[in-house]
Amino acid sequence: MLLTLESRAKLNNGIEIPRLGLGVYQSPPGEITLHAVKYALEIGYRHIDTAELYGNETDVGRALQESRIRRDDVFITTKVWNSHQGYDSTLYACEGSLRRLGLSYIDLYLIHWPVQGLR
């Protein structure tokens, strides 16, 4: 299978996720992440993967807002960190991610990695 920036996989709920995306792990908060995400969007990336732990959700959101790409055309993934696992803590953490990203929704919200016993 030839992979391109347009390649997508259909999830069980019918949503399509781009198979290729830009991950911003270890991309420092600030201008470096802002410019990397803006450039990725400019050249055709439509999936950006960040996390609360990375400290750069604000830059990802700002890059998306400053781009000319419609929000519905970009798939945003972020993650809840271990210390925020558990029902109420996760809801609170998700609200924080939404606020930092400047978005009304996140396309995919993952557990960064599961920790047994957290509820």
| 2 inside domain | no
| 70 inside domain | yes
Which pTM value belongs to this model? 0.92
Q: Is 117 left (phi over 0), alpha (psi -120 to 50) or beta?
A: left
| 24 inside domain | yes
State the total domains in the chain: 1
Report how far residue 105's alpha carbon sits from residue 101's, in angstroms, rounded to the nearest whole number. Answer: 9
| 119 inside domain | no
pLDDT in tens, 5-45: 999 999 999 999 999 999 999 999 999 999 999 999 999 99
Question: Domain with 60 in it: what CATH number?
Answer: 3.20.20.100
Q: Are 60 and 39 in contact (CB under 8 A)?
A: no
| 116 inside domain | no
Q: Containing domain of residue 72, as a range?
A: 8-111
| 117 inside domain | no
Catalytic residue list: 54
